[in-house]
Structure 1
Amino acid sequence: MTETMRAVTYDRFGGPEVLRLTDVPVPVVGPGEVRIRVRRAAVNPVDWKVMAGGLTGLMPHVFPIVPGWDVAGVVEAVGPDTPELAEGDEVLAYARKDWVQAGTFAEQVTFSVRGVARKPASLSWDEAAGLPLAGGTALRVLDALGVAAGRTVLVHAAAGGVGALATQIAVARGVRVIGTASETNHDFLRGLGAEPVVYGDGLADRVQALAPEGVDGVADLVGGVREPSLDVLADGGRLVSVADPGVQEHGGRWVWVRPDREQLAQLTALTEAGRLRVPVAEVVDLAEAARAMELSQQGHTRGKIVIRVSD
């Protein structure tokens, strides 16, 4: 008899209404993989974009689909030739596979050990789940910008899940950060070490008032900000976006985060050193995954939305 587990699934593209809590087979762990009993998963904007069919041109999809790419949990089983980890290890991962099907909104998930890192004791389960995709994206954007200590970057949506981490990492590297956010989040950004500005009309003028010579790099984490970003770039400055492939037509770079164990190790080292914290906006149970997606779609949360799968 096939062993089953609880998972949130959808069998057609759409909004949060297509999600169902169902029973699915427990995944088989393969060579070089671990099977993780999920404590927490996290919601990212890409999850509801995938669910709406927005990535069909980039990745193959196999229905029914379990959404989610962020996970924190305990190793339940290891596949053949997997000496890096053992049963009982506490881990976290950005568990994106090369196709869309078996995600992390489930009681168990399998993934290659090459993308799994140990969870530090200093990180709560909620924080650990919120770190991999957002933190990996932040690292990849900042590395692509290549801005040295003493230079200035503009971070769009600096109070969001990726933005809050990018801001902290940049500050830890000695970089001056100007961050866009609504006024209600300005004190939050100051607490992270950034200089806040309101987004929207007149943004370029507000940034130039703080950096008259222009900024050395722009991290676009939201899309729709290409023109003001180009307006405030200093000569030789770099523009990197996670949301607007069109920046490539203007000499910018579009980045896509990859599962990377070493990258996760960099992030967890920063958390252990007290240089990086993971803001958690809300925690909901697995059965409330649709509400978690709705919260993410609203775009007003400060930090990460986490799904509690088990304790």
Structure 2
Amino acid sequence: MNRAVIYEKFGGPEVLDVKETPEPHAAPGEVRVRVTAAGLNPMDWIIASLPEAAEQWGVTLPAGFGCDFAGVIDEVGPGAGDFVVGDRVFGGVMARAVADHVIVNIGPSALWPLARIPEGMSDETAAALPTPGLTAAAVVDTIGLGPDDTVLLGGAAGGVGVLTVQLAKLAGARVIGTASEGTFDFLRTLGAEPVTYGPGLADRVRELAPNGVTAAADLFGSETVEAALELGVAKQRITWIAAGESVPDGIRWSTGSDAAPGSLEKVARAIVAGEITVPIAARFGMDDIRDAVALQAERHVHGKIVVIP
């Protein structure tokens, strides 16, 4: 048998249960991974709580939970490339990651690439990386950051924000990040200059950057998009990841699927080299999944939440 987190109706953490399910096996073009860690993202509980979000991502009830994982391949189907039993790997599967085993399609239709975990990286760090790492890489690529840029990042202390700040710094950009005051010291350790979000954001940014802002990314909502437009940032240098229909026309949406090939491996190498950090805020066992999701949904965590099967 295989344990997995399952929900049979939409709702909050209370709908999540650990259940025994039939043990899965790898078909052609697939590998089976024994999960050693799963990283939680806001999209996980949003999909579980909102039917319209689940429909957008093709998730139907009953459903599994979580997308990002790390583990060890223990079964390889025919035509599964050069992966072998025993490979330490990380990647993503839609709404199935918090389980003892996951089946991963490694073909071109996969939403997440499957990558080998580099030497020197823990499984917990690898599990925290796929969705935010790919999204952060896509954001930086979309707005084309470089040494001549001053970039405004909205939601800089979130899971995607932490990595976007560091990738922007690696690209040579000056980074101003919106956040609550309680995260200011944390953001400064990453090299960002924090600014309080809320009404008057554009004016506060002008005080920090009197010579102007050249690019912006809104990693939560649309406030930063609006401030960037007020500051005169060109639309082609602005992007967003989770604002919905409230974003003006001409502002590009960035998702992990937009990341350049090899982006996940590139971010992983930067982590091993000590150029990027992925803070782990909390660890939970699978049986404590409701507590883990409740903490994630508060959106006040500085770092990633990891579930250990």
Normalising by structure 1, report the TM-score: 0.91
How many angstroms does 1:49 deviate by? 0.7
- What is aligned with 1:27? 24
| Structure 1 residue identity aligned to 2:35 | V
How many angstroms does 1:78 deviate by? 0.9
Does residue 1:12 correspond to 2:14, yes or no?
Answer: no
- What is aligned with 2:125? 127
How many angstroms does 1:235 deviate by? 4.3
Residues 248, 222 of structure 1: alpha-carbon distance in 2 compared, 3 angstrom cutoff: closer
**Structure 2, gaps ≥5 residues long:** 108-112
How many angstroms does 1:307 deviate by? 0.4
Q: Is contact 2:28–2:77 with CA below 8 Å preserved after alignment?
A: yes
Q: Where do 1:189-268 residues align within 5 Å? A: 189-225=187-223, 226-235=225-234, 238-246=237-245, 249-258=248-257, 262-268=262-268
Secondary structure of the residue that 1:8 maps to in structure 2?
strand
How many angstroms does 1:201 deviate by? 2.1
Residues 245, 62 of structure 1: alpha-carbon distance in 2 compared, 3 angstrom cutoff: closer
> Which of 93, 102, 119 is the matching residue for 1:109?
102
Secondary structure of the residue that 1:284 maps to in structure 2?
strand
Question: Sequence identity, in percent?
Answer: 40
Residues 24, 175 of structure 1: alpha-carbon distance in 2 compared, 3 angstrom cutoff: same
How many angstroms does 1:162 deviate by? 0.7
How many angstroms does 1:259 deviate by? 9.2
Q: Is contact 1:74–1:88 with CA below 8 Å preserved after alignment?
A: yes
Does residue 1:143 correspond to 2:104, yes or no?
Answer: no
Normalising by structure 2, report the TM-score: 0.92
Separation of aligned partners in 2, 1:278 and 1:142: 17
Q: Is contact 1:216–1:237 with CA below 8 Å preserved after alignment?
A: no
Q: Deviations over 1:59-85 (max 9, x none)?
A: 323322111110010011111012321
Secondary structure of the residue that 2:256 maps to in structure 1?
coil
Separation of aligned partners in 2, 1:235 and 1:298: 33
Separation of aligned partners in 1, 2:59 and 2:75: 26
- What is aligned with 2:283? 283
Does residue 1:68 correspond to 2:66, yes or no?
Answer: yes
Q: Is contact 1:84–1:113 with CA below 8 Å preserved after alignment?
A: no
| Structure 2 residue identity aligned to 1:276 | I
Separation of aligned partners in 1, 2:211 and 2:308: 46
Q: Is contact 2:127–2:306 with CA below 8 Å preserved after alignment?
A: yes
Residues 302, 233 of structure 1: alpha-carbon distance in 2 compared, 3 angstrom cutoff: farther
Residues 266, 215 of structure 1: alpha-carbon distance in 2 compared, 3 angstrom cutoff: same
Aligned residues: 301
**Structure 1, gaps ≥5 residues long:** none
Q: Is contact 1:42–1:307 with CA below 8 Å preserved after alignment?
A: yes
